[in-house]
Each structure stands twice: as structure tokens, then as C-alpha cells.
């Protein structure tokens, strides 16, 4: 039978991407981290569309969209993000990008610009896509929809350890403030706000580890 299309949405640092990646591998599906696209646009803006006060000039960014070519390339079985031919997969995780991405992601023109890229990749089926509005807007007809959440403290702790491991100098409180502010902007924006689709299964992993979360999600997916 046909390979499924799976949408995984939820709050930042609930493990959406790393969990989706593992599930994709287990089930033989493609994994696409849609947050990377918003981060890619933000990375471009930080290089080319700043005001004198070093804040992103959203108008300039919107008029520059035709000059932004984002694509995923398969590097060792992992989709890595390229901006105008340059691999930026590492750079898009930098804190400066995390701090600015939600401002960029709330603009309708920018969301529209990325919508087609996302839907085109999903057309072939057999994909697991993670983000904020996949089940609600990008792929409303997905075969399975999950919505992931966990307590703020637990999420801050996880993200902090991840950044520390990557050699970033930061502290839990700073990380927590970034999460809170992103969650707020993402949930309150007018276009495609972060919310659970009415037909999505809620996965709260505050008290379960990564392996248990993966097993829980897999328990809902029928053999294909």
C-alpha cells in the first residue's frame, strides 16, 4: 500500500525534528524539517536585509524574496539546507537566527513563499514533515497528524544541553526566554498560528524520553 504522509507540529524543543528523523528512517520515509526553511530566510535577512540599528528590515526582505533560492540536498541520507548553492545547515542553528526567526515567520508573504516548496516535496508521498502549521495549513490532508508538547522547563533544559554539546556558550535561563518568546509569537500570529489541528493526536513528552516518544508515535501508525 501507499506510503503515508505524516505531519508533526508542536512547540519549540519538543524534539520534533530529531524524533521525526528517526521515525523516517525506521519507516523508510523522507524527513523534512520545515523550520529550517524559515531559518534559512532569516539567515539571508541577517546577511542582506538589516537596518542601521542591525534589526531585520522586513520590507527589504520581502522584496528580496525572488533572490532567495532554498533547497534541500541529500547528504549522507540527511536533507541539508542550501541557500543559493551554499550549505547553511549549521549556520541556521546559530542563536542569532533563533532569536529572529519568529519575527520573520509571522509575515504572510514569507509563509506563502515557502508554502509551495513544502507542498511540492510532499506531493510524492512517503514523507514526514515537522513544523508549526503542517497539519493545519501545509498538509491538511495528511494521513497522520501529531502535535507535540512538553513543559517549558523540560524543553529549556533539553535545548540548553543540545547547544552546550554543540559548543555554544549560553545558560538555561536565556534559552528558556527564547523559547517563551518564540512560542508566544508563533501562537499569537495572525497567519497560520501554531495550534493543534482538530484531528491531531496530542503527544506530551514531559515525562517520557526520546525512545518512548518514538514508540508512542509509532504505535498509532498502521503497517503499509
Q: Which set of grid coordinates corresponds to residue 5?
A: 504522509
Residue number with CB closer to ligand C5P (78 or 224): 78
Q: How far is the CB of 158 from ligand C5P (least distance, A)?
A: 12
Distance, CA of 205 to CA of 190 (rounded, Å) = 28
- φ/ψ bin of 207: left (φ > 0), alpha (ψ from -120 to 50), beta (otherwise): alpha
Q: How far is the CB of 32 from ligand C5P (least distance, A)?
A: 10
85 labelled ligand-binding: no
- The residues, any chain, with a CB within 8 Å of residue 172's CB and separated by 6 or more, are 156, 157, 160
Q: How far is the CB of 221 from ligand C5P (least distance, A)?
A: 21
Distance, CA of 147 to CA of 48 (rounded, Å) = 34
10 labelled ligand-binding: yes
- CA-nearest of 208, 40, 5, 3 to 119 is 5
Handedness of CA 23, 29, 30, 35 (dihedral sign): negative
15 labelled ligand-binding: yes
Side-by-side strand order, sheet with 78-83: 70-75, 78-83, 86-87
26 labelled ligand-binding: no
Name the site residues for ligand C5P (rule: CB under 6 A): 12, 34-35, 38-39, 101-102, 105, 131-134, 182, 186
Q: How far is the CB of 129 from ligand C5P (least distance, A)?
A: 8
Q: How far is the CB of 186 from ligand C5P (least distance, A)?
A: 5
42 labelled ligand-binding: no
Map 86-129 to HEC letters.
Answer: EECCCHHHCHHHHHHHHHHHCCHHHHHHHHHHHHHHHCCCCEEE
Residue number with CB closer to ligand C5P (50 or 180): 180
Residue number with CB closer to ligand C5P (27 or 115): 115
Residue number with CB closer to ligand C5P (89 or 214): 89
Residue number with CB closer to ligand C5P (170 or 224): 170
17 labelled ligand-binding: yes
Where is the binding site for ATP, in residues? 10-18
Amino acid at each position: 500500500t501507499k506510503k503515508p504522509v505524516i505531519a508533526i507540529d508542536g512547540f519549540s524543543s519538543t524534539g520534533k525534528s530529531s524524533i521525526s528523523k528517526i521515525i523516517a528512517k525506521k519507516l523508510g520515509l523522507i524527513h523534512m524539517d520545515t523550520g529550517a526553511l524559515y531559518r534559512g530566510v532569516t539567515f539571508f535577512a541577517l546577511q542582506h536585509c538589516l537596518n542601521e540599528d542591525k534589526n531585520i528590515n522586513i520590507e527589504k526582505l520581502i522584496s528580496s524574496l525572488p533572490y532567495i533560492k532554498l533547497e534541500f540536498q541529500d547528504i549522507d541520507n540527511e536533507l541539508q539546507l542550501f541557500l543559493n548553492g551554499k550549505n547553511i545547515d549549521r549556520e541556521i542553528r546559530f542563536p542569532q537566527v533563533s532569536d529572529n526567526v519568529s519575527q520573520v515567520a509571522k509575515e504572510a508573504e514569507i509563509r506563502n513563499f515557502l508554502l509551495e516548496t513544502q507542498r511540492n516535496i510532499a506531493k510524492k508521498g512517503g514523507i514526514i514533515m515537522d513544523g508549526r502549521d503542517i497539519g493545519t495549513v501545509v498538509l491538511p490532508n495528511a494521513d497522520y497528524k501529531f502535535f507535540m508538547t512538553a513543559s517549558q522547563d523540560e524543553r529549556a533544559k533539553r535545548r540548553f544541553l543540545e547547544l552546550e554539546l554543540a559548543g555554544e556558550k549560553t545558560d538555561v535561563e536565556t534559552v528558556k526566554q527564547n523559547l517563551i518568546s518564540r512560542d508566544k509569537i508563533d501562537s499569537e500570529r495572525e497567519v497560520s498560528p501554531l495550534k493543534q489541528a482538530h484531528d491531531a493526536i496530542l503527544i506530551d513528552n514531559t515525562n517520557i524520553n526520546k525512545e518512548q516518544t518514538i514508540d508512542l508515535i509509532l504505535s498509532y501508525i498502521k503497517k503499509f
